[in-house]
Amino acid sequence: GQNIDQPTEMTATEGAIVQINCTYQTSGFNGLFWYQQHAGEAPTFLSYNVLDGLEEKGRFSSFLSRSKGYSYLLLKELQMKDSASYLCAHINDYKLSFGAGTTVTVRA
């Protein structure tokens, strides 16, 4: 995705914690989304940050720093079903622009 950088792949063990970083550059900014996408399926909404700070939702948390153009998604107590691609996206007006996604593989 244009001006959105996130690692291509990450591997972690079941029960562990993984942090997926995302940096972005954009002229207009109305928020930062994280989506989860299993292979062959639709992306599904995980989180939305518009103000700086940490948003916690169960095992998943998302952080935003607007001044640094930086966000991360934190996945705790990893489960096998968390193996998927995680997409960082910023919204400018009405349009969501996505990064290439980070493929997370959870090993037993």
Partner 1 sequence: DTGVSQNPRHKITKRGQNVTFRCDPISEHNRLYWYRQTLGQGPEFLTYFQNEAQLEKSRLLSDRFSAERPKGSFSTLEIQRTEQGDSAMYLCASSLGRGGNRSGEKLFFGSGTQLSVL
Does residue 41 belong to the site contacting partner 1 (CB under 8 A)?
yes
Does residue 20 belong to the site contacting partner 1 (CB under 8 A)?
no
CB of residue 79 to partner 1, shortest distance in Å: 22
| Neighbour count for residue 78 (Cβ, 10 Å) | 19
Sign of the C-alpha dihedral computed for residues 107, 10, 30 and 52 taken in this order: positive
Round the CA-based radius of gyration of the chain to a whole number and report it: 13
Looking at beta carbons only, is 74 or 91 nearer to partner 1? 91
Phi, psi of 81 (to 5 degrees): -70, -10
Phi, psi of 69 (to 5 degrees): 60, 45
Name the one range near partner 1 by CB under 8 A: 10-18, 62-70, 71-79, 92-100.
92-100
Q: What is d(CA 4, CA 100) in angstroms, rounded to the nearest whole number?
A: 8
Among 50, 54, 77, 107, binds partner 1 (CB under 8 A): 50
Looking at beta carbons only, is 69 or 99 nearer to partner 1? 99
Among 3, 11, 30, 105, binds partner 1 (CB under 8 A): 30
Q: What is d(CA 88, CA 103) in angstroms, rounded to the nearest whole number?
A: 12
Positions that interact with partner 1 (CB under 8 A) = 1, 4, 30-31, 33, 35, 41-45, 48, 50, 87, 89, 91, 93-101
